[in-house]
Structure 1
Amino acid sequence: MIIDNFKNAETYCGINKNLDLALKFLKNMDTSNLVLGKKEIPNSDSFYIYQEYTSKPLEDGKWEGHKKYIDIQYILGGCEKMGYCPIENLTPLKPYNPDTDFISLTGASDNFFNVSEGNFAIFFPQDGHMPGLAVNEIAPIKKLVFKVPVE
C-alpha cells in the first residue's frame, strides 16, 4: 500500500509497467470535465472509473480486495478516510469473483488514514482496503479509481 501526494507519483514508477502508464496518464489528464463512469486508458489494459458520492460512516464500511488489478484511488474533491489491513488477516464473506475481480471481506484493523484532494492511495492484491469513509461527518467526494493489471 502507498499513500502520498500526487506531486510525488513519479517516485513509484518502476514498480509495475502498467502502474507507470496509469500514473503518467493521470499526470497528463484533464480532470475539469469528467463524466461519471468507466473509461478505458488508450493502448493499455487499464481503465479508470470517475465517481462522485457521499462518504459513509465507519460502521457502513466494507473491506474489499482484488487479485488481478492494482487500485489507484485519487481524490479530486473532498477528503475521505480509508482503511488498510493485510488481506491474510481478513476473512472472505463470499468467494472471490474473477469476473469482477472483487472479494468482500470481514475483519478488524486499526489502520485508517485520511486521503484529501490531490492525494492518492495505491492498493496491491495483498492489501485489503475499506474506501469511502467519512472523516468526521459525511461529505461529498470526487474520486478517480484506476484499475491497473498486476501483470
Structure 2
Amino acid sequence: MAIKINMAGVQEGEFDAMPDGLYPCRLFDMNVKNSKDGKPYIEWVFKVQEGHSNAGRQFWMNNSLQQQALWALKRTLIALGDDPADLDGELELEKEDYVGRECVVSVVAETYEGVVRNKVKRVLPTGAEEAEAEVGNVDDL
C-alpha cells in the first residue's frame, strides 16, 4: 500500500533548543520502556501549555524504576499533584490518571553528540514560577 504525501513547500529543518528556564506544561504522555540493558523506566512527555510563546513544544524526561532511583520518581509524582502520603508501599500508576496534569518543567540546554538540545532538570508543581520570582532559583531549594 502506497502512502500519498504532498511535500510541496515543506522546509527541511530542526527545532532549536529552547532557553534555560521554567515552562508551564501539561503531561502529554507517559510510557514504560526498557533501557538498552533491559532495565525499566518511565518516559514522560511534557507539552508547553497554550498561551506561552513556545506552546506545543515538547520535553522528554525519564525516571528509572530501579529501587535506588525511586526517590526521583516520587519527586516527579509529587510535582504532578500526588499526595506524598499516598506514595508509600506498592503503587499502580495508571496513565489516564496522569496525562493532562499541569506542572512546571525546569529545562536547560546541553550539548549531546555535538547537538544542543533541551534536558529536563526537574519537574515542579504548578506555581513554581511564582516561587522562583520570590525566592530565587527553585533548583537550589
TM-score band, normalised by shorter chain: under 0.3
TM-score, normalised with respect to structure 2: 0.24
Highest RCO, 1 vs 2 (Cα 8 Å, sep ≥ 6): 1
Q: Which has the larger Rg?
A: 2
Greater strand proportion? 1
Is the helix fraction higher in 1 or 2?
2
TM-score by length of structure 1 reads 0.23
